[in-house]
Amino acid sequence: MGDDPASRVYVNNKKKACEFVGFKSEEFALPADTTQDELLKLVDELNNRKDINGILCQLPLPKGLDENAVIEAISPIKDVDAFHKQNVGRIMIGDYDFLPCTPAGIMEMLHDYKINVDGKNCVVIGRSNIVGKPMAMLLLHENATVTICHSHTKNLKEIASGADVLVAAVGKAKFVTEDMVKENAVVIDVGMNRDEKGKLCGDVDFENVKDKCSFITPVPGGVGPMTIATLMKNTLKAAKLQNGID
């Protein structure tokens, strides 16, 4: 909804990914003055369409609209972002069909690079429902010792510098500096910001941190592609579940 430039980039990337893997995708680009009732009516129509297996609402929505109400209106079996309360609750107990795309993509990356978090000290900076909280839960499911830091954390630098695995999801350009990173730590940068020159950058001061790490994700090109790949994976699973395919 509306004309948020970042949302346009994200939507275009998702459409390209669908085309690449052979999924049909439909975009409903609604004007910013669309009412809550009109949006909920569209969601209901998509819930009832058998040819639509996954539904996502590109956030943020324009001011005055209730994001939670829209997310809750999406059928849990078509909620390929895994934001619905029912899916969030299932993640908590470890019995889920879908995982939020960014945290799940990060875990897939850790597995692929043979980075075992079992018994490791993992710190997540950020407590959003989209990344921070589910990220902590997925790490916990794999036996990591997890600390969540946020804007009210008193000794954030001290906690971050003790992390074996540091996940930065705070939404502030170059927030994580070299003195916040442990030698040979694994650093995952979820941020997507613009620096003082208008250049795309993450939450981590990449140039000054990279030589201290054993692994670090770049921005762009790190977590972002994994997020979209996981969205495709969730959509395929949704289609299988809805059609009784193993």
Catalytic positions, written as ranges: 14, 58, 81
Residue 210 token pair: 């990279």
Number of C-beta neighbours around residue 238 at 10 A:
22
Q: Rounded to 5 degrees, what are φ and ψ at 210? A: -55, -40
E strands, 73-217, in order: 121-125, 145-149, 165-168, 186-189, 193-194, 200-201, 215-216
Longest dimension (CA), the chain: 53
**CA nearest neighbour of 147 among 167, 166, 124, 173:** 124
Distance CA 146, CA 142 (A): 10
Distance CA 234, CA 246 (A): 14
Give the pairing of strands 145-149 and 165-168: unpaired
Residue type, position 52, single letter: I
Distance CA 221, CA 109 (A): 12
